Amino acid sequence: MAVAAGASAAADPEARADRSKLCERVANMAVEMNRARKEGVPQRRVEAAALAETDDIQVGGALVGVAQVVYAMAEDIDSTVRSRVRRDCRSGFRPR
């Protein structure tokens, strides 16, 4: 039954658009973290700015957490990586 619900959610264009927006926000946050590191700006300042943009503190915290993982996995996040993340999000790829 959960599989059917997941399949119907995947077919829902609105849900797909929401996931795409979240993926893009995470990618942008990770890029900002990388830029801040290069400029000597404390990472906490970038995280605080990301949280300030979110209405729900739990969602914002989750997005920052995912962005930290993305940032930690990539030594140098640039526009190429960001475009790959966007492409993967649009194609429906979700790591498990």
> How many structural domains is the chain composed of?
1
Return the DSSP state at 91: T
2, part of any domain: no
Predicted confidence (pLDDT) per residue in 17-55, tens digit:
777 787 788 778 878 877 887 888 887 887 787 778 777
Give the tokens for residue 24.
């893009």
82 belongs to a structural domain:
yes
In tens, the pLDDT along 64-82 reads 888 777 777 665 556 666 6
26 located within any domain: yes
As a whole number of angstroms, the distance between CA 77 and CA 79 comes to 7
Instruction: Read off the pTM.
Output: 0.53
Please indicate, yes or no, if residue 95 is contained in any of the structural domains: no
User: Is residue 27 packed enough to be buried (19+ CB in 10 Å), middle (13-18) or exposed (0-12)?
Assistant: buried
Residue 21 lies in domain: 16-90
